[in-house]
Amino acid sequence: MSIAIISPGRDVSSWVKTFNKADPTVDIQIFPDIGDKESVELVILWQHPKGILKEFPNLKLICSMGAGVDHILSDPEIPLTLPITRIVDPGLTVPMTNYVVMATLNYQRQLYRYQSNQKKKIWDMSNPELDLQVGVMGVGALGGDVIEKLKMLGFSVFGYGNSPKSSTDYPYFYGDELPQFLNNVNLIICMLPLTPSTENILNLDFFRKCKKGTYIINVARGSHLVEDDLVTAIGEGIISGAFLDVFRKEPLPQEHPFWNSDKITVTPHIASVTNPNSAIPQIIENYKRIKSKKKLLNQINPILGY
């Protein structure tokens, strides 16, 4: 058994160490130093060079290094006849929910206004809390947990997704019901999977359908957001500001306007980071399952994109 980890520019030493601890018999090859491509039966990918998988003639399984698979499906030469899996881990859910709750509370309690007032030595006790109706776009495992925790804190929460749900304990909209969803909320948290239908969804047309002064939190993918349109919407007063952890180009370029905006908070894609100790047992188990022709854990539908 040989596994190739293909994640250019990323330190994967902790992954190799964890693999060796979990199963010392596994042969691990690290891109770009993959000497025996014919022996590779499983690849673990994050931002791989497009087209590289055709170099592995005996590949049986493609694994994402994280919860998202858009970086895999964006490769036009990906062999869709092969199963693709992602990581599903409570260790990803807890930090993601904590991050989103933090961003929501910081905005609701106007921490940024008070930080600015402190620098100006202004003592202003007026309107200490904002009245928020929170909308979560994407209510899978991660989004569902965010909704649950925000409801526990007393927020009015609404959900939006691509498909209907049989029952929810919160108002839920889907598909063409986006305008109704937007009419109910003034803080939007984007947690959608990145698919052809959701790419660039946070654009100027979208913002102009929002309630005036709506706030945006994006922890999904940078390609959900048309960044210039956000700058325009903030400038026009349509959107009050944003809390962003993901960007179209990472690291965020030094000349990017987000750095200097007092309406936008930037964090370096740290809302939730995959833990090898949780991810690798799933990967090894799936390799065993594909050998024995059993149903895989966390296999995605490449047509749906998640």
Concatenate the DSSP letters of all residues of 188-220 into one string. EEE-----TTTTT-BSHHHHHHSPTTEEEEE-S
CA atoms within 13 A on the CB side of 213: 7
The pLDDT of residue 10 is: 87
Mean pLDDT score across all residues of the chain: 95
The pLDDT of residue 289 is: 94
**Does residue 304 carry a pLDDT above 90?**
no
**Does residue 273 carry a pLDDT above 90?**
no
Does 109 qualify as catalytic in the annotation?
Answer: no
What is the average per-residue pLDDT within 218-230? 97
What is the average per-residue pLDDT within 229-258? 97
Query: pTM for this structure?
Result: 0.85
Marked catalytic residue, from 208, 248, 256, 269 = 269
The pLDDT of residue 276 is: 92
Does 221 qualify as catalytic in the annotation?
Answer: yes
What is the average per-residue pLDDT within 109-121? 95
| pLDDT 10s digits, 54-85 | 999 999 999 999 888 999 999 999 988 999 99
Residues 226 and 262: their CA atoms lie apart, in Å, by 19
Residues for the chain: how many in total? 306
Marked catalytic residue, from 109, 221, 224, 248 = 221
What is the average per-residue pLDDT within 249-253? 93
| pLDDT 10s digits, 160-197 | 999 999 899 999 999 999 999 999 999 999 999 998 89
Q: Are 296 and 83 in contact (CB under 8 A)?
A: yes
Return the structure tokens found at 26.
Answer: 């596994």
- Which residue in 273, 215, 284, 283 sits closest to 246, CA to CA? 273
The pLDDT of residue 119 is: 95
Q: Are 100 and 146 in contact (CB under 8 A)?
A: yes
Residues 113 and 118: their CA atoms lie apart, in Å, by 9
H helical segments located in 23-140: 70-73, 90-108, 111-120
**Does residue 1 carry a pLDDT above 80?**
no
**Does residue 125 carry a pLDDT above 90?**
yes
**Does residue 274 carry a pLDDT above 90?**
no
Return the structure tokens found at 191.
Answer: 């947690």
Q: How confident is the model at residue 92 (pLDDT cuts 50, 70, 90)?
A: confident
The pLDDT of residue 187 is: 98
The pLDDT of residue 67 is: 86
The pLDDT of residue 305 is: 84
Return the structure tokens found at 122.
Answer: 């202004």
**Interhelix angle 13-22/276-291, nearest 10 degrees:** 50
Q: Are 168 and 159 in contact (CB under 8 A)?
A: yes
The pLDDT of residue 303 is: 85
- Indicate the burial class of 19 (C-beta count within 10 angstroms; 0-12, 13-18, 19 or more): buried
For residue 122, CA distances in Å to 113, 126, 166 come to: 10, 12, 51
